[in-house]
Structure 1
């Protein structure tokens, strides 16, 4: 069984990319379990057509959960779970992940036969809860979604530091960076500089597309809404790379000084400012 975790800064598009990857992988004939590990609880919306109850919300009403209480069948038979979290400003968001993993363990869900598990995880790994897929080795390989914006790369670098720490103890692999081109100004050259500096690699790129925006607003994946599009082929290519990826990248996260150097390189690209 292949266990994949997709990490990234909040709002960078990791849920959109992870749900579309789950859909494409399922269409290839694989049995997929998709677990949303984000307090927003919207990772599976594109697979279900709507938001589903989260494990945390269900536990408020029922103590002893059954499998049917928390696992929902979505697009193409994909099994969907949402961890959820506390209301804004109340409690620990990462606790939702910890609680969900405990419930899935109790229900022996991880012992069932399937081909792929996809975890969609918020990149705030400062909180121990968000590091659970790595720390407890629920995932075997980690991918990071990022744009070419500095703060997104900054978050990616922090996630890489966590992967590095846990890889020594848990044999966690880093599969590479996924470039999400969120607008027409996105500059992959900036991300290439970061990849070179960290001795990592960009495994795939998702181009800016109105089709992706429309499908997300419709609560559908590209596989369901635009199966004959170029964007579908982009996701198909990325999914094939992930399914066949045997690399174990020996990467080196950047120091604070190196991140400052990267910031200077971004300025040289003349993307985010204009000379007066």
Structure 2
């Protein structure tokens, strides 16, 4: 019983300690660090797993880091198997009085190195704070001394959270890629990411947007129109195809040289490597809605102000005030 109480107390004391600042110095290796953002369910993990696999098959050294609390970035790469997360492993090792080693948290498949930062248990912490703690541990493991051609970071698009906005706010990456589809919600998130990039550029930041990956493209064109409106290129358009959907659901990599979809991911790999970071032109809410027909979004709805009588469901008489009003002298 005392052991459990002491362990709980140690965890409470640890949680009260603010993490060390993440290093913001220059990267010593010629490494492209790219943060990929998208709405949950937009297919960014699918695109990243296949992109990283294709890059590795082209002879590049690639590190894929899942920074989504769902910890599902690497599941496709490893055939549905879950990686032990950095945060989970760190907590377990600390309780045992042991240090985290790279072989505890990083795993390989066909030339791709991959790991998951993870997040707190449901209802027990902030996902963004978990990201900050995860990167603090990566610093201790030698993140800036690792020798990779590409480091791909899979981030949830909720950049209003400091943890998820970390790569943009602290220049931890050179460029950002957004993933979206022809739907308003995924483009809303992509627009928020562009807004965050532009905000920090005005504060002296250097991160830019390299482009957009359109996933589940059904040909309706809203995502393409969004990219043109904000001034970023489309790096690839992955079609809404039954073969892709089925293989993705079965945790199969499709970005394989010589395969049916090889050309698509070879083009994506080339564009990701060569696309320069640019300053986007984020859209207003009205501009974003304007990409869609009114019957799809309800854009024709007019805001009607409510009254006090409406709120009460009965007639409302303004009460007399006790304020003393003096006549002008």
TM range (shorter): 0.7 to 0.9
1:129 paired with 2:163, answer yes
1:200 matched to 2:232? The reply is yes
Quote how far apart the aligned CAs of 1:119 are: 0.6
Partner of 2:222: 190
Alignment gaps of 5+ in structure 2: 1-30, 299-329
- What's the counterpart of residue 55 of structure 2? 25
Pick closer, same or farther for the CA change 1:248–1:78 going to 2, 3 Å.
closer
Inter-partner Cα distance in structure 2 for 1:16 and 1:271: 27
Matched, 1:51 2:82: yes
Farther-moved stretch of structure 1 (34-43 vs 193-202): 193-202
Runs of 4+ in 1 over 4 A off after TM superposition: 270-273
SS of 2:59's equivalent in the other structure is coil
5+ residue gaps, structure 1, are none
Q: Who is 1:143 aligned against?
A: 177
* Cα distance between partner residues in 1 of 2:229 and 2:293: 16
Quote the residue 1:161 is aligned against: 195
* Larger helix percent: 1
Determine the C-alpha separation between the residues in 1 that align with 2:244 and 2:297: 24
Deviations 1:107-134 (A, max 9, x none): 1133121111011111011111101122
1-side partners of 2:267 and 2:220: how far apart? 18
Q: Distance in 2 between matches of 1:208 and 1:149?
A: 13
Q: CA deviation at 1:188?
A: 4.6
8 Å Cα contact 2:132-2:163 kept in structure 1: yes
User: What are the superposed Cα offsets for residues 214-237 of structure 1, whole Å, 9 maximum, x if unpaired?
Assistant: 33233331135xx43332211111
Structure 1 residue corresponding to 2:247, chosen from 192, 199, 215: 215
Separation (CA, whole Å) in 2 of partners of 1:196 and 1:217? 31
Q: Is the 8 A contact 2:255 2:261 kept in 1?
A: no
Kindly indicate whether structure 1 or structure 2 has the higher relative contact order, using CA contacts under 8 Å at least 6 residues apart.
1
Structure with higher Rg: it is 2
Alignment partners' CA distance in 2, 1:210 and 1:196: 28
> Using the alignment, how far apart are the partners of 1:272 and 1:212 within structure 2?
28
Question: Separation in 1 of the partners of 2:245 and 2:119?
Answer: 26
CA RMSD of aligned residues (A): 2.0
Mapped contact 1:35–1:120 kept (Cα < 8 A): yes
- The alpha-carbon deviation at position 135 of structure 1 amounts to 2.0
> Paired residue for 1:35, among 65, 71, 77?
65
Taking structure 1 as the reference length, the TM-score comes to 0.88
Contact between 1:37 and 1:120, CA under 8 Å: does it hold in 2?
yes
8 Å CA contact 2:208, 2:279 repeated in 1: no
Cα deviation, residue 52, structure 1 = 0.6
* Structure 2 residue matching 1:222: 3-state secondary structure: coil
From the superposition, tell whether residues 157 and 58 of structure 1 become closer, same or farther in structure 2 (CA, over 3 Å).
same
- Number of aligned residues: 262
User: What's the secondary structure of 2:110's corresponding residue?
Assistant: helix
Given that residues 254 and 261 in structure 2 are in contact (C-alpha distance below 8 angstroms), is that contact kept between their aligned partners in structure 1?
yes
Q: Aligned pair in 2 of structure 1 residues 208, 229: CA closer, same or farther (>3 Å)?
A: farther
**In terms of mean alpha carbon deviation, does 34-43 or 134-143 score higher?**
134-143
Provide closer, same or farther for how the CA distance between residues 108 and 237 of structure 1 changes in structure 2, counting only shifts above 3 A: same
Further displaced range: 86-95 or 103-112: 86-95
CA distance in 2, matches of 1:97, 1:152: 22
Cα separation, 2, equivalents of 1:203 and 1:235: 10
Q: Does 1:5 align with 2:5?
A: no
Distance in 1 between the 2:90 and 2:84 partners? 10
